[in-house]
């Protein structure tokens, strides 16, 4: 998480991930006690996150349940890491940080 959210220091209490030849998806859950700190991090304009639409993430699922609902208010940012591009998405309503890494072919 330090790579994609520098300065955000919270305890992670759950991780789901999946990967294939085109990339990986990490779903990070943190303790609700960190909610204020995490919300402030993603709301800070200096960190570069912008409002996003949950509808674009309906294919990210755990146990056939979407991680982000269509009507969730989320923020996101794309980070270019050379041959890997990562989309970091924060869903405050579910206390999840989702990192979607795509590997350039």
Domain of residue 66: give its range. 12-103
Residue-wise pLDDT for 6-56, tens only, equals: 999 999 999 999 888 888 999 999 988 999 999 999 999 999 999 998 888
Check whether 96 has a pLDDT greater than 90: yes
Report whether 49 contacts 17 (CB < 8 A). Answer: no
Whole-prediction pTM: 0.90
Does residue 2 form part of some domain? no
The answer to whether 46 and 52 have CB atoms below 8 angstroms apart is: no
Per the CB < 8 A criterion, the answer to whether 49 and 77 are in contact is yes
Residue 65 lies in a domain: yes
- Rounded distance between C-alpha atoms, residue 49 and residue 74, angstroms: 10
Q: Is 69 part of a structural domain of the chain?
A: yes
Number of domain units in the chain: 1
Q: Print burial letters for 41-57: b (CB count within 10 Å at least 16), e (below 16).
A: bbeeeebebeebebeeb
Q: What is the mean pLDDT of the chain?
A: 90
Distances in Å between the Cα of 53 and the Cα atoms of 17, 68, 85 are 22, 10, 19
Does residue 5 belong to any structural domain of this protein?
no
Is 51 part of any domain? yes
């Amino acid at each position: 998480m330090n790579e994609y959210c520098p300065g955000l220091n919270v305890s992670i209490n759950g991780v789901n991930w999946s990967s294939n030849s085109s990339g990986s998806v990490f779903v990070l859950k943190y303790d609700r006690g960190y909610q204020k700190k995490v919300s402030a991090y993603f709301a800070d304009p200096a960190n570069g996150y912008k409002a996003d639409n949950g509808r674009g993430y309906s294919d990210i699922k755990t146990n056939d349940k979407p991680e982000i609902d269509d009507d969730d208010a989320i923020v996101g940012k794309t980070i270019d890491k050379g041959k890997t591009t990562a989309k970091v998405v924060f869903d405050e309503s579910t206390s999840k940080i989702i990192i979607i890494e795509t590997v350039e072919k």
